[in-house]
Amino acid sequence: MKIRLKKTQAKLGSFWPKLFSFILLISIFLIFSGCSSSLQKAKVDFTRAEALNKAYQEEEAVSFYKKSLEEANREIKKKPSSQAYLLRGLNEVNLNRWDEAEESFRLAASLGDDRAETWATEVGLYGLALSLEKQRMDEASARLYSSLAEKGKFSPVVMAAVSRLIDSKLKLIAEASPAQKDKLLNECLKIIEKPLSENLAIGYYHYLLAQVLGYQKKYRDSFEEAVMATELGLPTEKISRDNDNQIIFCYRQLKNELSPEEWKSFSSIYNSWIKKWKWLDETTPTWKRRE
Amino acid sequence: MEENKLVTFLQQSVKILQYFLPLDSLSFFPILYASLIWAFDRQFNFQAKVLELEVWLEPDILKSKSNEFILDFFNSNERLKAAYAKELAENNMMSLRLDFEVLYPVIGLQDPFLEKLFSRELEQGNYRGLVNDFDFRLNQALSEIMVAGSQPQFWNELGKIGQEFLSLGWDLLNKADVRAEIKKTLEQLKK
């Protein structure tokens, strides 16, 4: 019995170093096979950044875009490819480095990516519009933004252009006459219409529409768009909070203008949404301090 | 979450931060308070958050609001309503809009850094004082932080404070309660 035990112990004694060596070999293989593809790492980091962005963890998302950008650059040094340049460009767009993104997309196009040429042109035009705006050449920049909002194919550029256009129109409303105000608001609706119909799942367009409808005092419609914006997700925490405030604003306005029956029906819908979002009460989202 | 635990933790954090910023500086308590709130939201890139404060009102849509929205903002908060009773009675939208652009981020969007930076004015309901001092005080506080932040350890230590704060076990509380608890304890420490 003792001999058998010793033999077993001896076997086990030689088993652990072997197992350890095996695990070490596998680990080294995995580490090196991982290192061989910076592109893979760049993709993983980019996906992570996108997920964090959706969860309003913007600062962490930025650090993952930066990591992904570094990996894409590493891959380009080792083995330039259209995919690596494309990924570099996407990271640069998310980091607001428009000029660099244009260059990356051009290089991706030169290596055979069909989409990249269009993206490069649109990113370049957006960068130009931004610099025209900085130089107070408002009409020229508005023309470029309009063209990108209407005909653009690259979603981040279209979204940014739509946002700049709406901003510029809403800024004028405070001092506009009632007729001018109506005209400006109709122009805003027209600007959002097309990108929204093509990208119904982008929460930011619903947010913009909710804001414009709020200006038009169409509070029920504005509320519904703001709800959709919340459900689909918004790009930053500040915008998300502002959207919550829009929901509350619509709630208060509707309380004053709906008939008791309409109010009863609206109120029940409203309460089911705020229950879903775990608000503390009708006018207190989870981030807000009770008055 | 025991109150004593929080007091001890904050006392230690104050000692660490004092190495970088004088206790009586404008930015001391705002940066500490904001870092804890950001940590609660799992947003640990404090440096980016602070830099963001300088341009925090972008995009413009956050401040381009309809007259009705602005009136609702003032009327739905009793203290604001009282402070701006004259403008509201006269429907002086030009004046209300100018002050709204400053007050909305602090009161409407509850930016934690700005809330703490103007905590005295908020407590006293001195909203006009807040509006008047806003640019000057924000710029001064940010430049203090930039000086402290030029030492790389500053952001690391702030990050550690944030991580440690989370480990104290706040998960069962909601954000509004956490804000109130930290604020109360920091006020005690200031005295």
Q: What per-residue confidence (pLDDT) applies to A1?
A: 41
Classified as helix, coil or strand, A284 is strand
What's the DSSP call for residue A218? Answer: -
- For A222-268, write each residue's pLDDT tens digit: 999 999 999 998 877 888 999 999 999 999 999 999 999 999 999 99
Q: Which residues of B touch A167 (CB under 8 A)?
A: 59-61, 64
Cβ of A284 within 8 Å of Cβ of B176? The answer is yes
Cβ of B110 within 8 Å of Cβ of A58? The answer is no
Classified as helix, coil or strand, A217 is coil
- Give the distance from residue A17's alpha carbon to the nearest chain B alpha carbon, in angstroms: 38
In whole angstroms, what is the distance from residue A233 CA to residue A227 CA? 10
- Give the distance from residue B119's alpha carbon to the nearest chain A alpha carbon, in angstroms: 14
- For A170-204, write each residue's pLDDT tens digit: 888 888 999 999 999 999 999 999 889 988 888 99
Q: Which residues of A touch B162 (CB under 8 A)?
A: none
Q: What per-residue confidence (pLDDT) applies to A33?
A: 45
- For B15-65, write each residue's pLDDT tens digit: 887 778 777 777 778 788 888 777 777 666 677 666 666 544 456 777 889
What is the model's pTM? Answer: 0.73
Cβ of B56 within 8 Å of Cβ of A287? The answer is no
Is the CB of residue B164 less than 8 Å from the CB of residue B56? no
pLDDT range class, residue A5, cuts 50, 70, 90:
very low
Cβ of A170 within 8 Å of Cβ of B45? The answer is no
In whole angstroms, what is the distance from residue A4 CA to residue A221 CA? 82
In whole angstroms, what is the distance from residue B82 CA to residue B98 CA? 17
Q: Which residues of B touch A166 (CB under 8 A)?
A: 61
- The arithmetic mean of pLDDT across residues B58-79, rounded, is 88
Q: Per-domain residue ranges for chain B?
A: 3-190
pLDDT range class, residue A288, cuts 50, 70, 90:
confident
Q: Which residues of A touch B180 (CB under 8 A)?
A: 289
Place of tokens 């946002």: A163
Q: Which residues of A touch B78 (CB under 8 A)?
A: 291
Cβ of B174 within 8 Å of Cβ of A286? The answer is yes
pLDDT range class, residue B190, cuts 50, 70, 90:
low
User: Percent of chain A, pLDDT > 90?
Assistant: 38
Token pair recorded at residue B189 = 């420490």
* A 224-243 → B contacts, CB under 8 A: 237-239, 241-242
- Label residue A32 exposed, middle or buried (CB < 10 Å: 0-12, 13-18, 19+): exposed
Q: Does A57 touch chain B (CB under 8 A)?
A: yes
pLDDT range class, residue B85, cuts 50, 70, 90:
very high
Nearest Cα residue in chain A from B42: A57
* A 91-150 → B contacts, CB under 8 A: none
pLDDT range class, residue A219, cuts 50, 70, 90:
very high
Q: What per-residue confidence (pLDDT) applies to A254?
A: 97
- For B164-179, write each residue's pLDDT tens digit: 887 777 655 666 677 7
In whole angstroms, what is the distance from residue B25 CA to residue B23 CA? 6
SS3 annotation, chain B: CCHHHHHHHHHHHHHHHHCCCCCCCCCHHHHHHHHHHHHHCCCCCHHHHHHHHHCCCCCHHHCCCCHHHHHHHHHCCHHHHHHCHHHHHHCCHHHHHHHHHHHHHHHHCCCHHHHHHCHHHHHHCCHHHHHHHHHHHHHHHHHHHHHHHCCHHHHHHHHHHHHHHHHCCCCCCCHHHHHHHHHHHHHHHHC
Q: Does A280 touch chain B (CB under 8 A)?
A: yes
| Partner-chain residue, chosen from A241, A253, A283, that has the shortest CB–CB distance to B68 | A253
Q: Which residues of A touch B175 (CB under 8 A)?
A: 286-287
Region label for A126, one of left (φ > 0), alpha (ψ between -120 and 50) or beta (otherwise) = alpha
pLDDT range class, residue A31, cuts 50, 70, 90:
very low
What is chain A's length? 291
Cβ of A59 within 8 Å of Cβ of B42? The answer is no
ipTM of the complex model = 0.72
Cβ of A173 within 8 Å of Cβ of B77? The answer is no
| Partner-chain residue, chosen from B67, B77, B175, that has the shortest CB–CB distance to A286 | B175
In whole angstroms, what is the distance from residue A244 CA to residue A286 CA? 10
- The arithmetic mean of pLDDT across residues B126-132, rounded, is 95
Place of tokens 């990356």: A104
- Give the distance from residue A221's alpha carbon to the nearest chain B alpha carbon, in angstroms: 16
Q: Is the pLDDT of residue A73 over 70?
A: yes
In whole angstroms, what is the distance from residue B52 CA to residue B105 CA? 13
Q: What per-residue confidence (pLDDT) applies to B48?
A: 67
In whole angstroms, what is the distance from residue A114 CA to residue B28 CA? 53
